[in-house]
Structure 1
């Protein structure tokens, strides 16, 4: 079983490295590396969400090697996982046995229309810090933050320009939704995910803000291990 992990805006595959020692031996963590960061730092950032999803689709298809697989996305990664599911479905590819949506409201929920990615860098930086949607490893290092602003703006652009389209079919696997109690989302934002699956829906709430996942590694990986054991096909 492979677990493909999709990061938040500005995030890279390193966001999931600490999970590896907590997973069951038969569950292989595979963090997706997006363009413009990590080992793909020299590649230009995506111009659209569709481009990102196609790139991720190709990575998953190349690495899956016939194994069952699941998806985990946090924040922007949840939106990528949602769209990736329908890319897989449309291409007739093997679909995931489970999807974990973390730190992101159901895609049908109305979002703010402000386009933060169009703001001048100093204002953009101030806004995203105020929103609490910036990784601490960036906000605590000024020079690193400046280096990552183009990547963050590219990621915010993908999310802010996203237009939800209702699908003719629901996700046909179980889904698990995780959220921080101090994150700026209503219970309806979270519970509406249940309308997007024909499978089982489970929600978990954690102490903390948008980046609760960094502070609850043991509990989150325990949930993943349990859920994938239940979802496994024999």
Structure 2
């Protein structure tokens, strides 16, 4: 298995020559398999890829990242073979932050190849992180907060053995998400579509309304029904938005 094989899952190839690759990055501790349900809804000429970070699936025992720079360097190196052709990023929550940082790198190395950046459930870079910080809580309080957020089944969160394996990954990536801030004056060239859940108590319209400021092209903020994890609860609606915007970008 190559480094790229470990990092990137091809969830669906395009039925024809791919017009664009959609590279998806999950939320903290999330599985890239969460995006597989999008396969049937995406336009037939869109290839669907997902990034598999350390600490889950086949990479469960791989070392976790504690700082942004090595995470970015390694993720970008694994994605490089896929960034030479037209592509777009979708990142959710922590994944939205990582997708934004990768867009900066991709636009430097492969100009005009990033068609669009989609961010879901992710505060804009200029919005301060809410406090108290989630990653500093005790295990019991941390698990209770995760259950309130609704991203994982209760039976998983209440399984002590399973959570002993998963908590370090979730906590570590939430820590990175909470430490993230605006490091790039000027934003990115790619259009940005920022999507939030109407009932999201974490990243509402208030936290996401400034995302258009971070595109030197076009930017928009779109509301969907659902909470913080609308990408799974309202996947077809989100995929429709993605299809529509990618079609517009190709027009």
Same fold (TM over 0.5): yes
Query: Is 1:135 aligned to 2:121, yes or no?
Result: no
Query: Is 1:172 aligned to 2:189, yes or no?
Result: yes
Asked whether the equivalents of residues 146 and 152 of structure 2 are also in contact (C-alpha less than 8 Å), the reply is: no
- In structure 1, the residue matched to 2:38 is 19
Query: Aligned partners of 2:52, 2:117: CA distance in 1, in Å?
Result: 18
Let me know the Cα RMSD of the aligned residues: 2.0
Decide which moves more: 103-112 or 197-206.
Answer: 197-206
- In structure 2, the residue matched to 1:227 is 245
Query: Is 1:151 aligned to 2:162, yes or no?
Result: no
* Cα 1:120–1:187 shift into 2, 3 Å: closer
Asked whether the equivalents of residues 98 and 173 of structure 1 are also in contact (C-alpha less than 8 Å), the reply is: yes
Query: Aligned partners of 2:189, 2:181: CA distance in 1, in Å?
Result: 22
Q: Give SS of 2:206's match.
A: helix
**Structure with more contact order per residue of length (Cα contacts < 8 Å, sep ≥ 6):** 1
Query: Is 1:200 aligned to 2:200, yes or no?
Result: no
Unaligned regions of 5+ residues in structure 1, if any? none
- In structure 2, the residue matched to 1:55 is 74
* 42, 47, 58: which one aligns with 1:39: 58
Q: CA deviation at 1:190?
A: 1.9
Query: Aligned partners of 1:119, 1:218: CA distance in 2, in Å?
Result: 34
Asked whether the equivalents of residues 4 and 60 of structure 1 are also in contact (C-alpha less than 8 Å), the reply is: no
Asked whether the equivalents of residues 135 and 211 of structure 1 are also in contact (C-alpha less than 8 Å), the reply is: no
Q: CA deviation at 1:124?
A: 2.0
Query: Aligned partners of 1:123, 1:187: CA distance in 2, in Å?
Result: 26
* Cα 1:213–1:3 shift into 2, 3 Å: same
Q: CA deviation at 1:186?
A: 4.3
Q: CA deviation at 1:226?
A: 1.3
Q: CA deviation at 1:96?
A: 1.0
Query: Aligned partners of 1:191, 1:116: CA distance in 2, in Å?
Result: 22
State the TM-score, normalized to the length of structure 1.
0.89
Query: Aligned partners of 1:196, 1:133: CA distance in 2, in Å?
Result: 29
Asked whether the equivalents of residues 31 and 56 of structure 2 are also in contact (C-alpha less than 8 Å), the reply is: yes
Q: CA deviation at 1:231?
A: 1.2
- In structure 2, the residue matched to 1:106 is 124
Q: Give SS of 2:114's match.
A: coil
Decide which moves more: 80-89 or 2-11.
Answer: 80-89
Q: Give SS of 1:24's match.
A: coil
Q: CA deviation at 1:141?
A: 5.0
- In structure 2, the residue matched to 1:120 is 138
Q: Give SS of 2:217's match.
A: coil
Query: Is 1:216 aligned to 2:234, yes or no?
Result: yes
Query: Aligned partners of 2:187, 2:134: CA distance in 1, in Å?
Result: 31
Query: Aligned partners of 1:163, 1:69: CA distance in 2, in Å?
Result: 25
State the TM-score, normalized to the length of structure 2.
0.83
Query: Is 1:86 aligned to 2:130, yes or no?
Result: no
Unaligned regions of 5+ residues in structure 2, if any? 1-19
* Cα 1:120–1:18 shift into 2, 3 Å: same
Alignment length (residue pairs): 229
